[in-house]
Amino acid sequence: MNNILEFLPLGSIVELIGVKDVKFMVVSRAVLLGDEKKYFDYAACVYPIGVVEDKLTYFMKSDILRTVKLGFHDEDDELMISNIMDGLKELNL
């Protein structure tokens, strides 16, 4: 079971396409928003500021310009990624 490439670990720092001079820290993966269940690969806060007034930035893997630093990854994260992938299959996402 090696799904590390499927999702970045929580805490990963990324730069997004079209967003200059701002880094984001991944705080959630496989996000479904609202009643219409709009899907995003990631939710992130601005780094190094953190979460302010519950404001997050939602984006897809394809929006990532560069991974600055990978977050912590271990067996628990591997299991969580596997569970996410199973859930996405069930939802046909």
From residue 5, give the alpha-carbon distance in Å to each of 48, 53, 54, 77, 89.
Answer: 24, 31, 28, 12, 17
Residues 6+ apart with CB under 8 A from 25: 11, 12, 13, 44, 45, 46, 47, 50, 71
**7-51, pLDDT tens digit by residue?**
999 999 999 999 999 999 999 999 999 887 899 999 999 999 999
* Dist. CA 84–CA 90, nearest whole Å: 10
Q: What is the pTM of this model?
A: 0.88
Q: Running DSSP on this structure, what letter comes out for residue 61?
A: G
pLDDT value of residue 5 = 54
Q: Is the pLDDT of residue 1 over 60?
A: no
Kindly state the helix (H) or strand (E) to which residue 75 belongs, with its residue range.
helix 75-90
Q: Is there a contact between 16 and 59 (Cβ–Cβ < 8 Å)? A: yes
